[in-house]
């Protein structure tokens, strides 16, 4: 999936060069590309990266192709990822997440693995989300087995991790 600005350079997001590179990155990660969806517009939609019509088209395409993943040829905000995942029904990642995953698979030395893991954690930090108690930062009372107030909750432990 990509957004292409007609006035942009031939190597920017949504260009044939960029989409070819994205296909190669997906192949390197062991993924098979089912199809491409490109929308021509001056700027990405702030809520879903692509317009609502393209989101519906993407959802139908993902369902018909039995896709497990949608890859965006550009940087997605955490809100865009969440909105796309809710509407499309499959996991959505952007180019950066795909590249970090490739580096994680190919890191050989312990220092390299640690550096990649640190980069992945730094990338995922603003994208952590949870509902209700799963991301609660306060424990205590009955949830902590009567350990009292001020005990770290599950969200505090997840954010620390």
Is a pLDDT exceeding 70 seen at residue 55?
yes
Q: What is the mean pLDDT of residues 118-132?
A: 77
In the Cβ-directed half-sphere of 7, how many Cα atoms lie within 13 Å? 3
Using pLDDT thresholds of 50, 70 and 90, give the confidence band for residue 114.
very high
What is the total residue count of the chain? 161
Q: Element (H or E) spanning 97, and its range?
A: helix 95-106
More confident residue, 150 or 64: 64
The percentage of residues in the chain with a pLDDT greater than 90, rounded to a whole number, is 13
Q: For 130-139, what is the mean pLDDT? A: 54
> Helices in 35-94 by DSSP H: which ranges?
52-64, 78-88
């Amino acid at each position: 999936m990509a957004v292409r600005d007609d006035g942009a350079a031939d190597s920017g997001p949504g260009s044939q060069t960029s989409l070819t590179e994205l296909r190669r990155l997906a192949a390197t990660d062991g993924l098979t590309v089912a199809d491409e969806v490109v929308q021509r517009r001056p700027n990405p939609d702030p809520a879903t990266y692509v317009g609502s019509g393209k989101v519906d088209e993407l959802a139908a395409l993902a369902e018909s192709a039995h896709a497990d993943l949608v890859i965006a040829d550009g940087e997605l905000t955490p809100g865009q990822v969440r909105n796309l995942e809710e509407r499309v029904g499959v996991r959505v990642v952007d180019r950066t997440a795909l590249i970090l995953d490739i580096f994680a698979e190919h890191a050989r030395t312990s220092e390299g693995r640690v550096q990649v893991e640190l980069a992945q954690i730094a990338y995922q930090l603003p994208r952590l989300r949870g509902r209700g108690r799963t991301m609660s930062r306060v424990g205590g009372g009955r949830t902590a087995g009567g350990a009292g107030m001020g005990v770290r909750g599950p969200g505090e432990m997840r954010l620390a991790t």
